[in-house]
Chains A and B, each alone.
Chain A
Amino acid sequence: MAEGHSPLAQFEIKRLVELNAGGLDVSFTNSSLFMVIAVAAITLFLTWSMRGRAMVPGRMQSMAELSYEFIANMLKENVGSEGRKYFPFIFSVFMFVLFCNLIGMIPYSFTVTSHIIVTFGLAALVFVTVTLVGIFRHGFKFLSFFVPSGVPAVLLVILIPIEIISYFVRPISLSVRLFANMLAGHTLMKVFGAFVIALSWWGGWLPLAFISALTGLEFLVAFLQAYVFAILSCLYLNDAVHLHH
């Protein structure tokens, strides 16, 4: 078999424009290109479909308004009325993850969110933002978040470290969930694609049927993972804004 046919070769980072900033490699890579494509697609989708500003929305305007209301309702349900000021943040994160996941489904493209550094950057952004929101709102009372109410003092000794550890695991679980879903999905599709070719005309239709079903599932997973990322960010925001468990 020729090289470059490993199912993991699709995740390789290729430098498109070599750039150097004082010894640091800041090249424009295929990952950066697809992030720019995702942001351009989001901006085009939202601005172009709203250009008519019709009172009774047509198809495209409906979709744009639907995505807005989806996140607005998510924030209202999970954070309450104070959630409104965090809407741009949660909406941007949700749309970015969603479009990066969906653009990765195009054949021969690159899935930005299939790299742990990208998903960790997003999860760290959410974690730090939520923690800062909690600290600026409540000051030192924020630490009362780690002390659940109605617990006997004997259990508190072991419960508080557990609470602190599970709080710091949040960015890790948030990032690894998205990363592993994208990695596993695309690797599986590549492996079954290789099976289709390897079994050629007499057996190739079976993995082909499986891959068709899997592609449908991957579209669902793309939406679902973006939704889960957004709703968990809202839940963490709720924890920071209203300090009870």
Chain B
Amino acid sequence: MEVEAAKMIGAGLATIALAGVGLGLGNIFGSYISGSLRNPAAAPKVFGNVLLAFALTEAVALFALVIAFLILFA
């Protein structure tokens, strides 16, 4: 197999990680919505944690992106 073709396949495989990230993000915001519907008064207090959790999970997606770039271009 040519190196170029292998690089493309590798980069495509690296995006499988985004499945887990999608699950995680949906989980975070789903539980925030569910919790804030039960206890609307507490929703603004916990929103900071929601943003932190979102950024931390999004970071995993970007780690996968960096690996894909490394496979493609290095």
Contacts and interface: CB of A to CB of B under 8 A. Distances in A.
**A-B complex is real:** yes
A123 to B, nearest CB: 12
Query: Which bracket fits the contact residues of B?
Result: 10 to 19
A204 to B, nearest CB: 27
Interface string B39-56: 000000000100110111
A226 B69 CA distance: 24
Contact of B62 (A184, A224, A227): A184
Contacts of A184: 62, 65
10 contacts: A176-B59, A177-B58, A177-B59, A177-B62, A180-B63, A180-B65, A181-B62, A227-B55, A231-B48, A231-B52
B66 interface: yes
Contacts, number: 34
B56 A228 contact: yes
Interface of B: 48, 51-52, 54-56, 58-59, 62-63, 65-66
A132 B63 CA distance: 28
Going nearest first, the 10 A-B pairs with the smallest beta carbon separation are A180-B62, A177-B59, A228-B55, A180-B66, A224-B55, A180-B65, A184-B65, A231-B52, A181-B62, A224-B51
Interface of A: 173, 176-177, 180-181, 184, 224-225, 227-228, 231
Contacts of B63: 173, 176, 180
The main secondary structure of chain B at its interface with chain A is helix
B51 to A, nearest CB: 6
Nearest to A77: B48
A176 B56 CA distance: 11
Contacts of A177: 55-56, 58-59, 62
Contacts of B65: 180, 184
A228 B62 CA distance: 15
Nearest to B51: A224
B51 A173 contact: no
